[in-house]
Chain A
Amino acid sequence: MRTLVWVLLVALLVAAVCLVVALFGLRLGREVADRRRETRHGEVRDVILTALMGEPDEAARARADLRTRSGRGWDEVEDQAFAMVPKIKGDSHDALVTLLLSKGAAAHASTLARSRSQVRRARGAHRLGALAQSDAVSLLLGLLHDHAFLVRRTAVRALGQVGDPIAVPPMLDAVTADPRLSRDVLAAIGRTGSAAAPMLRRELLRTLSEPVDNRRAALTAVGLGVLGDVSAAPLLTVSLEDRDQPGLAVASAEALGSLGAPESVEPLLRAMADADPDLRVAAARALGSVGDVRVAPRLAGSLRDRHHLTSRAVAGALLRLGDPGLLALRASPSPYAAEALAVHRVRHGG
């Protein structure tokens, strides 16, 4: 019994003392390290900025200086350069990327991307994205199957920066496997730009004939809207009628809204009669963005929709339809019409 008491007391005391020592050691050590890093950081920062934007002779000297650095000296340069690359464009951006490439940053990033540590793999993917070299695509595609979510997300973002449309189908596969990547894939598609459109159209067409995954289908439709691919409008009016895949019709309505194609007006008006309130909301918003003023009187009927959000969305859409919309709102007894008109007055005076 006595020994038990002693063992307990001593063990707990030792634990407490160890924790206190660790706390003080950590705080002291890290604050000293921080201060050192700051000094080094400032010095390197000036050289990098001069290399990018200095007078020609200064810049050349600074670039030569940076190239001679190696080991930890270069690591500091690399870290800072990669922090800056995504924030700038134009010749400074290109100069920074050239400097990084000349010191083998691409190879280094590829090595990181193959590392066993998931943090390193993510950092590698991040850097490959920042460098945006097309030969990194196959390596990044491989990382889409990584078991670590962080790595998959960074790989998707990086593929967006590289902007090769070949990555679109594998990215959609990755979303199908893990919906958390939706926003990242959409952002990547947006960055890839119009080159991604044919892939998405093909994907949507296939989805219509043989449904695979609801979210994937919806994302494909939204993606076409993000790209502003007007040639996809006919296809999207077909997917707007789709009732087998929940979410696809809503996504198609949203996409048609961003495309603003006139031929989508009639199908969208038909969708206003659908039983699904989410679809009615999306269709109303889309009709507002398409902006065909002739629909105002027909849309105004839905101000009396039983679903509150639909009424509000309809009122918002009418506001965007200019004078015919305002006229329809003034004529309506709906409280949502009054609300929209009042908000409109607050926003635009009068």
Chain B
Amino acid sequence: MLFWGLNAFGWFFIAYAVLINTSFLVLTGLAVADFWAYLRRVDFAAYDETFAEPLTPGISILMPAYNESAGIVESVAAMTALRYPDFEVVVIDDGSKDDTSKQLIDAFDMVEVPIVVPVEIETAGHVTATYLSRRGNNNVLLVRKTNGGKADALNVGINAARKPLVCMVDADSLLDPDALLHVSRPFADDPDRVVASGGVVRVANGSDISRGRVTRVRMPNRWLPRIQVVEYLRAFLVGRTGWSRLGGLLIISGAFGVFRKDVLLELGGLATDCIGEDAELVVRLHRWLGDTGRDGRVVFVAEPVAWTEAPEDRAVLRKQRRRWHRGLTEILSKHRGMVFRPRYGMVGLVSMPWFIAFELLAPFVEVFGVAFLAVALVLMSSDALGLTDLQLVNQDVVWILLSTSLLYAVVLTLAALLIEELSFRRYRGLRDLAIAVWAALEENIGYRQMNAWWRAGGSIEAWRGTKHDWGDMQRRGLGKT
């Protein structure tokens, strides 16, 4: 009885690992098809011509800020230096207690100007003053409001935005100079249907950074960052490209997304009652598209556009991953009504169920899987040492489980590296490659299990409904695929 029980568990974990990894293999295949097309298009992209053309939609970049006086000037300066013909930077000071606003007013030579901020989305905080820069194209707008949280600040920003497209970006994201050109292109190509587009996020650690730009891309040497580089490549670059190709892109990253302003107004802006408000917005957008029967598209742009400083410290990483998974749990339970409903198309039929089965529940399965392996190994070694002769575990099951979960995962990560090598090729040199390959292996020993534990904790937090932690920690987006 016990024998069959243990081995049955083993087979369950094997089946789960095979399913999760094979589904990711399918996504990888889809991504390859997409990059193949990208490579062929790149020569004639003619981005420069976009500048002189009519019909290039204007973009308002929203930057919510709370007590960020240290870095805000540099972040905003980097934003104003993007290449795009028509854009403004809207900084929303969410009632900072420090001198965030003063820093901006001094650095950008701002004066108080009565910009009208119509209350099209109801907000908790209210606008106290608006300032406009006397510098450059006068395209830096500062909106001061009473405190209401990040989502509330973004909603005020949407109200204040004066352009037809709205770009939400984390204040500490490093954007490539052409980021807006890349991410706005889908809107210009298909203005009637594209409602949102998102960019890929990469890990900046280890690279050379100057004046808010990644100037030379390199692999970090330290343990956690180097693993996160390959993790991001696999999850964001390959995973999201695959989903996008399939037409089931559920989530685009909060670190860099562009939306049609009129659609955001229809949706009522961002939800202020959940953690991953940026991801929740996209899921709600899908829901709205399905409910209203509109033919809208959420697209993903694979060109490298946004870079982020990944946590180098275990405690910070733990907090981040718990938060991500808590956010994902809340979103999936809030919108569980979309599952298996044909009205929501690919998102309802495939993406949502996949996310629940292989993203939401994965940490739990993984934690139990590790426990199973530990028990099995103890029993096996005790048999082998002659201490016992229980023969409770089938050794073959253990080997199959190890290869289908760990080795298979390594192969997928290596495939992601190969895709990057064949498409964007942002890393150079054999040393960086050796680090990346090593990181692909070492991710599976310790890092993954640790991550699973944290993420499981995030879900439990969500289910227990503990109070939200509004700490200003990094919120980059949810789910890894």
Contacts and interface: CB of A to CB of B under 8 A. Distances in A.
Nearest to B120: A308
B53 A312 contact: no
Contact of A8 (B120, B404, B417): B404
A12 B396 contact: no
A26 interface: yes
A24 B431 CA distance: 10
A316 to B, nearest CB: 10
A338 B396 contact: no
Given A123-B43, A180-B190, A16 B414 contact: yes
Interface stretch (B58-66, B244-252, B326-334, B405-413): B405-413
A183 B55 contact: yes
Contact of B53 (A5, A15, A187, A311): A187
Contacts of A122: 40, 43-44
A336 B138 CA distance: 17
B414 A23 contact: yes
A27 B421 contact: yes
A23 B417 contact: yes
B228 to A, nearest CB: 19
B116 A8 contact: no
Contacts of B408: 12
Interface residues of A, number: 48
A160 B221 CA distance: 50
Nearest to A254: B54
B115 A339 contact: yes
Nearest to A181: B189
Given A19-B411, A23-B418, A8 B437 contact: no
A150 interface: yes
B396 A346 contact: no
B113 interface: yes
A4 interface: yes
Given A31-B428, A222-B54, A343-B138, A150 B41 contact: yes
A330 to B, nearest CB: 14
Contact of B421 (A26, A118, A226): A26
B466 to A, nearest CB: 40
A56 interface: no
Contact of A19 (B132, B414, B425): B414
B396 A336 contact: no
A336 B116 contact: yes
Q: Which of A2, A8, A9, A28 has the most CB of B within 10 A?
A: A8
A226 B417 CA distance: 46
B422 interface: yes
A336 B118 CA distance: 10
Given A154-B44, A187-B53, A346-B134, A24 B430 contact: yes
Interface string A180-206: 101100110000000000000000000
Contacts of B437: 20, 23
B433 interface: yes
For chain A, what secondary structure do more than half of its interface residues adopt (helix, strand, loop), or is it mixed?
A: helix
A126 B44 contact: yes
Contacts of A182: 55, 191
A23 B421 CA distance: 7
Nearest to B441: A16
Contact of A16 (B55, B56, B410, B433): B410
Given A19-B414, A186-B53, A8 B162 contact: no
Nearest to B118: A308
A4 B403 CA distance: 11
Q: Could you say which of B133, B396, B429 has the most chain A C-beta atoms within 10 Å of its C-beta? A: B396
B120 to A, nearest CB: 7
B469 interface: no
Contacts of B403: 5, 8-9, 12
A347 interface: yes
B138 A339 contact: no
A16 B444 CA distance: 14
Given A12-B411, A180-B190, A19 B418 contact: yes
Contacts of A183: 50, 53-56, 188-189
Interface in B376-397: 394, 396
Given A16-B407, A157-B46, A346-B111, A2 B415 contact: no
Contacts of B114: 335, 338-339, 342
B399 interface: yes
Contacts of A170: none
Nearest to A11: B403
Given A27-B421, A182-B55, A183-B188, A339 B113 contact: yes
B49 interface: yes
Interface in A152-170: 153-154, 157
B400 interface: yes
Given A8-B400, A8-B404, A23-B417, 17 more contacts: A5-B399, A8-B399, A12-B407, A16-B411, A26-B418, A27-B421, A119-B43, A126-B43, A154-B44, A179-B191, A183-B55, A311-B116, A335-B116, A339-B114, A339-B116, A342-B132, A347-B138
5 contacts: A122-B43, A126-B44, A157-B46, A342-B132, A343-B113
Interface of B: 40-41, 43-44, 46, 49-50, 53-56, 111, 113-116, 118, 120, 132-134, 138, 162, 188-192, 394, 396, 399-400, 403-404, 407-408, 410-411, 414-415, 417-418, 421-422, 425, 428-430, 433, 437
The 9 closest A-B pairs by CB, nearest first: A19-B414, A342-B113, A12-B407, A180-B189, A119-B40, A335-B116, A5-B399, A308-B118, A1-B396
